[in-house]
Amino acid sequence: MGDIIETKVIPVPEENMLPSLAPIPKEIARALNYVCKNSVKLSNAHKNEYHNYNFASIDDFLEVYGSIIAEAGLTIIMDEVEEKQNDKVLKIVYHFILIHESGSMWQHPIKEVFVLILLLDHKHTDKHKVIV
């Protein structure tokens, strides 16, 4: 595995988020509670041979949680609102909207969602990106 060049997490200060956070509709709160009550641990059935670690794939996640989220009556819309990249960091900002089958909606103002660690590969000249 390569050397870690830089790890940087950009937190969203609580005072910046809470004033803009709309109250969560009761139907959505109940649905999220249902998803949490029915959550299960995903198996790390896939292996990254290059970096030698096991992981659950996005397909595994969607197969299990897609049905639980649907049973709860939720739809999640993820909207990419910004992408910036320099030679060290890729920053992607998403906004999430939860929609309940009753018609209730809630937009959660998530900001800096993905921060990447850039690894220098000793065997190749390119860099490998790992999502944190």
The per-residue b/e assignment along 95-120, b for 16 or more CB within 10 angstroms, e otherwise, is beebbbeeebebeeeeeebebbbbbe
12 has a pLDDT exceeding 70: no
63 has a pLDDT exceeding 60: yes
CB atoms within 10 A of CB 28: 20
The arithmetic mean of pLDDT across residues 8-16, rounded, is 58
Band of pLDDT at residue 129, cut at 50, 70 and 90: very low
Q: Which residue type, as a one-letter code, is found at position 50?
A: Y
H runs (alpha helix) in 5-57 = 14-17, 26-37
Q: What is the CB-side half-sphere exposure of residue 121 using CA atoms within 13 A?
A: 10
User: What pLDDT score was predicted for residue 50?
Assistant: 84
Where are the chain's structural domains? Answer: 3-131
> What pTM does this model have?
0.59
User: What pLDDT score was predicted for residue 109?
Assistant: 60
Question: What pLDDT, in 10s, does the model give residues 101-119?
Answer: 999 998 876 555 555 555 5
User: What pLDDT score was predicted for residue 24?
Assistant: 87
The arithmetic mean of pLDDT across residues 31-46, rounded, is 91
132 has a pLDDT exceeding 50: no
User: What pLDDT score was predicted for residue 116?
Assistant: 54
The Cα–Cα gap between 121 and 132 comes to 18
